[in-house]
Structure 1
């Protein structure tokens, strides 16, 4: 009787398909090290090797900073947007009530006042849009840093 030979299994971890076998070393002075650590802290990476690799191969990295004033601005902008929506709904209801409950001359006089307030709201809305565009532009500029600075 012939016994089937089982393949020899030496155990352990399976080898990786693409092992990282090449290693490099560099030396930095105190000033360079402080600059490197500042960039590393701002980058948000957890591993310094990943940060260095991305810097060497020219990939840009984003710095995420939470600015309390910008968060407050965003919250207030969201609240203002919801108020604008409610004003639009109330505006429609008001116009319907004016036409159904008042005489034509009285309704037109009240609509004229309402129209003036609406023009003021539109001007305010345009200012808000301009400020928001400035906010977005400054946010996009601050979001990316480079090691060349």
Structure 2
């Protein structure tokens, strides 16, 4: 009976790998070579140095991702600016409805004229923003 229980016992620990890496190689680098290797490793975005070196040795594809913080910041601010423009559009519609419900035709027309002038200024500002964005895209992102 004890033999049957010992057969059913589960083994603990990690499952063994099907193709383990058992061969080890050591090499030495000069300071310049090490700096170059470290900069390549950091720019690759890989986490494991050994896998990075293996990918270099066997000419596997190495992906380098460069993140431009200035571009990201620019587009984040542009997106928030666009959402503010949308909020102004919603407020514009609400304001026109309120003008016609709470004021006489004459007073509403006066306020609406002032609102139209401000809207024209915003349209000019929007065109400038579009030009700046296209210029930024042309000069900094499409390299």
Query: If the TM-score is normalised by the length of the shorter chain, which range does it land in?
Result: 0.5 to 0.7
Would the alpha carbon gap of residues 19 and 132 (structure 1) be closer, same or farther in structure 2, given more than 3 Å must change? Answer: farther
Higher RCO (Cα < 8 Å, 6 or more apart): 1
Q: CA contact under 8 A between 1:43 and 1:62: conserved in structure 2?
A: yes
Q: Give the equivalent residue in structure 1 for 2:105.
A: 103
1:58 matched to 2:58: no
Structure 2 unaligned blocks of 5 or more: none
TM-score (normalised: structure 1): 0.58
TM-score (normalised: structure 2): 0.60
Q: CA contact under 8 A between 1:54 and 1:60: conserved in structure 2?
A: no
Q: Which has the higher helix share?
A: 2
1:124 matched to 2:111: no
CA distance, structure 2, for counterparts of residue 57 and residue 79 of structure 1:
41
CA distance, structure 2, for counterparts of residue 136 and residue 19 of structure 1:
49
Q: Give the equivalent residue in structure 2 for 1:18.
A: 19
Deviation string for 1:72-103 (max 9, x for gaps)?
54554454334223211220122113333232
Structure 1 unaligned blocks of 5 or more: 142-149
- Kindly report which structure 2 residues correspond to 1:14-53, keeping only aligned pairs within 5 A, or say none: 14-20=15-21, 28-53=29-54
Paired residues in the alignment total: 132
Deviation string for 1:94-139 (max 9, x for gaps)?
21133332325x5445434322322222232333344445369846
Q: CA contact under 8 A between 2:44 and 2:62: conserved in structure 1?
A: no
Would the alpha carbon gap of residues 114 and 34 (structure 1) be closer, same or farther in structure 2, given more than 3 Å must change? Answer: same
Would the alpha carbon gap of residues 13 and 32 (structure 1) be closer, same or farther in structure 2, given more than 3 Å must change? Answer: same
Q: CA contact under 8 A between 2:43 and 2:64: conserved in structure 1?
A: no
